[in-house]
């Protein structure tokens, strides 16, 4: 098998295994919330002044999908919208206290999964990490260029 194909296949398998392994714990701890809702909450919690465009870009979703998602999250009382005094045109989002609880549960689960997998990462040298990170960053830049070349946007 071509090493490029093998590498991509292995990345997909690895990602699928992580999702499958983490899924039941995530679903139990975040019952009643869809993955897209939790990821939107995470993105709002991690970004400064997140708006529809920023969220669409970070979640690889359309702005229309983000508008629907943020409305749903506002209806559930998990996020609220606000405007900055220096920009009355743009609408931004922040977590409510209830949204912060979901954010914290999600973050704690990620920490738990990192702790579970720590044994693997402890065996990786700094040089190996640097090499893998360089590859992933290069590939990501390539995909960004392809996205731009194909005119794909988050509209």
Q: What is the pLDDT of residue 154?
A: 55
User: How much is the average pLDDT of 107-128?
Assistant: 97
User: How much is the average pLDDT of 42-61?
Assistant: 95
Closest CA to 56 of 74, 72, 44: 44
- Domains, in order of start, for the chain: 34-123 (1.10.10.10)
Q: What is the pLDDT of residue 1?
A: 77
User: How much is the average pLDDT of 80-94?
Assistant: 93
pTM of the model as a whole: 0.86
> pLDDT confidence of 155, banded at 50, 70, 90?
very low
Q: What percent of the chain has pLDDT over 90?
A: 89
User: How much is the average pLDDT of 122-131?
Assistant: 97
Q: What percent of the chain has pLDDT over 70?
A: 98
Kindly tell me the sign of the dihedral angle through the C-alpha atoms of 12, 20, 114, 45: positive
Q: What is the pLDDT of residue 152?
A: 78
| Number of neighbours of residue 23 by Cβ within 10 angstroms | 11
Average pLDDT, the chain: 94
């Amino acid at each position: 098998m071509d090493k490029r194909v093998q590498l991509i296949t292995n990345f997909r398998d690895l990602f699928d295994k992580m999702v499958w392994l983490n899924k039941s714990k995530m679903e139990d701890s975040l019952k009643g919330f869809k993955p897209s809702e939790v990821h939107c909450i995470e993105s709002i919690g991690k970004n400064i002044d997140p708006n529809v465009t920023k969220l669409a870009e970070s979640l690889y979703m359309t702005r229309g999908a983000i508008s629907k998602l943020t409305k749903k999250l506002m209806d559930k009382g998990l996020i609220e919208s606000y405007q900055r005094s220096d920009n009355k045109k743009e609408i931004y989002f922040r977590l409510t206290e209830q949204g912060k609880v979901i954010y914290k549960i999600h973050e704690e689960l990620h920490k738990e999964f990192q702790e579970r997998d720590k044994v693997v990462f402890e065996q990786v040298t700094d040089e190996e990490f640097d090499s893998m990170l360089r590859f992933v960053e290069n590939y990501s830049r390539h995909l960004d260029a392809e996205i731009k070349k194909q005119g794909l946007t988050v509209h």
